[in-house]
Amino acid sequence: MNTNDVIPADPILSLGLRSTLDEPDWETLEKDGLDRLIEILPYRIQDLVRQTADQLEEIVLIAGEPVSFRIAGKEYYTEWTLPPTDIEYLKARLGNIKSNGRVGIEGTLHRISVRRDAEGIIYGATIRIGRAIRGIAEPLRPYLLEAGGSILVVGAPGTGKTTLLRDITRIIADQYGRRCIVVDSSSEIGGEGRKPHPMLRKASRLAVPDPRKQPEKMLEAVANHSAQVVVVDELAWIEDSKTVEVIAGKGVRVIATVHGSDLLEAIMNPAYSPITGVRRDLIEARFVQEKPPVFRLAVEAYALGQIRLYPNLQDAIAKLLDGIHPAHLELDLRQGTQRKVRESPLKRNKGGNLK
């Protein structure tokens, strides 16, 4: 071999530094996380949670009502009602509850959201089972790394968009490292505590103690921590959208989720106007696109593991406003399959509006 062809060793590695991270034991992490959740639950439901853990998605506890379990997309109920003392037990174990009524469990992805009556007294809770499904975003890898630009993830609650966002973050962070910064309101993406869940891998995180401070933290990620990518879950208010517009204008990639049953519903939401470029023309009583969207591509999560990919969001928005469902890719992320879908006319409801 010619000595000129020898690839020199990286001198930095000789200093005891490395360019990779150890792979966690994912199975043990999931088991330990579930055990920590079970520890704070009322005794009478702990065994039910253990026995249904593999397919359990959500638990709803309401004083004086049967406990409901959402298992593999179907709801089941206990034959007995939950006594108020069990809610008091849960409250005593929760610790600090954030302003939006949510609380996490350190080291896990599980989320508990309390229910309060008109007087602010807690009488129930909704418990979402968070899972780190590594590899679910792999079919999107070429679009995430090669296409560049910002990415919008649209989905209704329960469609797995936050789970998808975590794995997208894992893939993006392999390229950008600590300059991929997760702005984590309510510890939704990386879990509770200072140390984020290992699912985020090389990405760093800024915790958001109050969801109303989310715009402030997004700006901090760029100004103070040299973010090249900002990841944020649930753009809820127009202030969030305006901030995303500002930081994207600085050349920072943004990966964000918004609520919507589909892409059309999202672009018609006035709270997202700064990032979609769509506004309602009150004179002509129609929606118009007055500027390009902040995001280059969009992912529409319509069921667990089922997504629609729109590689060119600007073109997709133009088609939707013209009453056409744009061409797209439908992907089954669990099966790793995909198919191309041609454009077609949008259906209209009885009032003549697009749906």
User: Chain-wide mean pLDDT for the chain?
Assistant: 89
When mean pLDDT is compared across 47-56, 193-202, 333-342, the lowest value belongs to 193-202
Per DSSP, the residues of 36-62 read: HHHHHS-HHHHHHHHHHTTTEEEEEEE
Alpha helices (H) along 113-267:
141-145, 161-176, 214-225, 238-248, 263-267
Per-residue model confidence as pLDDT tens digits over 140-160: 998 888 777 899 999 998 888
Query: How much is the pLDDT for 350?
Result: 45
**Nearest partner of 103 among 5, 36, 56, judged by Cα:** 36
Per-residue model confidence as pLDDT tens digits over 159-171: 889 899 999 999 9
Please give the share of the chain, as a percent, with pLDDT higher than 70.
95
Strand partners, 206: 183
Task: Spell out the CATH class of 138-345.
Answer: alpha beta
Q: What is the pTM of this model?
A: 0.86
Query: How much is the pLDDT for 351?
Result: 45
Cα-Cα-Cα-Cα torsion 235, 189, 117, 56, nearest 10 degrees, comes to 120
CATH of domain 26-128: 3.30.450.90
DSSP 8-state secondary structure symbol assigned to residue 106: B
All structural domains of the chain with their residue ranges: 26-128, 138-345
